Amino acid sequence: MAGSALSGPILFRPDSDGVGAGFNNLPLGIIQSFGVDGISGVDYYFNHFHKWEGPTAATVTTGLLGGWFMVTETNGWAIALGTGDRGGTLAFTGITTAGAGSLHMGQTAVLPNTWGYTVGKRMWMFTRMKVSADFAGTAQWFMGFGTAVAVPYTTVPTNGLFLRNATTAAKLDISANEGSNITTKTNAITLAATVYTVIGFYVDSAGNVHVYQDGTEITAALIAVGSTGLATLNGDATKLMQFMIAGAIETKVVTLDWLLVAQEN
């Protein structure tokens, strides 16, 4: 029998009940973003950093580019495609011992907050990253969702679900915040100099928040549905968040190999 191969995209066909008939023959890659009923699917951002659409300048001004908004402190940090790694990377480089900044996927009055914790809507935030030298002393790192603040590593977002090294410089906590209602599981993830690690968290369909490092769940860091902070974030459209990467990294370099942020519609 002769071999076969795909010669084009895999196309959607409605089921026998006609669900999704209006989307007949659309590529499945499109359908997955909004679902066969037009209101489900998964909204996501993924970048393997063969290219970078966002801002790069490290100045005291703010800059909006490619759907990203950057705020940096004086002589803060520079963002650029990395070198010396196969497959593409994005490097955050601290300019001085005070090197710091924040990068927002959207910003108040510029781009809207679009991510929200809702039981029944799964959510993912993962990256593969490394640091050039161990975080120590005052080095700070923030990664996750929150209401917009210029420096989320020091001024914690009013509402948020994020990783942050607030307890130990070389370890990341997971926190769920809604105003003064907060649940934090400390020292959930460990960062080691020059070693890539895959880290992040997953919100399951029941609303529990699971933390992972290198494919293994950190069970002690589980934040259960209904926990303080999560309970009052749940489904509240007035408490939507944006995705942020921020830190005071001194003269260190933080390198991201890839980044995934996603949520069910």
CATH code assigned at 149: 2.60.120.200
* Residue range 159-188: mean pLDDT, rounded: 96
Is 111 within the bounds of a domain?
Answer: yes
Is 3 within the bounds of a domain?
Answer: no
Average pLDDT of the residues of the chain: 87
Look up tokens 């010396």; give the residue: 84
Is 2 within the bounds of a domain?
Answer: no
Is 1 within the bounds of a domain?
Answer: no
* Residue range 132-149: mean pLDDT, rounded: 88
Q: Does residue 208 register a pLDDT over 50?
A: yes
pLDDT band at 60 (very low <50, low <70, confident <90, very high): very low
Nearest alpha-carbon partner for 146 in 264, 248, 245, 263: 245
Q: Are residues 92 and 146 in the same domain?
A: yes
pLDDT band at 200 (very low <50, low <70, confident <90, very high): very high
Termini Cα distance of the chain:
43
Can you read off the two tokens belonging to residue 192?
Answer: 């080691």
Amino acid code (one letter) for 126: F
Q: Does residue 150 register a pLDDT over 80?
A: no
* Residue range 164-176: mean pLDDT, rounded: 95
Q: Are residues 27 and 117 in the same domain?
A: no
pLDDT band at 74 (very low <50, low <70, confident <90, very high): low
What is residue 105's predicted lDDT score, i.e. its pLDDT?
Answer: 77
Is 74 in contact with 60 (CB distance < 8 Å)?
yes
Amino acid code (one letter) for 133: A
- The 10 Å Cβ neighbour count of residue 85 is 14
What is residue 4's predicted lDDT score, i.e. its pLDDT?
Answer: 60
DSSP 237: G
* Residue range 108-117: mean pLDDT, rounded: 71
Residues 6+ apart with CB under 8 A from 64: 55, 107, 110, 111
Can you read off the two tokens belonging to residue 229?
Answer: 């902070």
Q: Are residues 51 and 168 in the same domain?
A: yes
pTM: 0.89
Spatial separation of the C-alpha atoms in residues 247 and 151, rounded to whole Å = 8
Phi, psi of 102 (to 5 degrees): -145, 145
3-class SS at 2? coil
What is residue 62's predicted lDDT score, i.e. its pLDDT?
Answer: 53
C-alpha separations of 221 from 29, 147, 227, 243, 261 in Å: 34, 22, 12, 21, 20
Angle at CA of residue 45, ends 122 and 71, nearest 5°: 115
Half-sphere exposure of 70 (CA within 13 A, CB side): 24
* Residue range 164-183: mean pLDDT, rounded: 95
Is 235 within the bounds of a domain?
Answer: yes
More confident residue, 219 or 53: 219
Q: Are residues 55 and 34 in the same domain?
A: no
What is residue 246's predicted lDDT score, i.e. its pLDDT?
Answer: 87
* Residue range 107-129: mean pLDDT, rounded: 84
pLDDT band at 30 (very low <50, low <70, confident <90, very high): confident
Can you read off the two tokens belonging to residue 153?
Answer: 């590593």
What is the total count of domains within the chain? Answer: 2
Nearest alpha-carbon partner for 160 in 197, 215, 123, 135: 123
pLDDT band at 216 (very low <50, low <70, confident <90, very high): very high
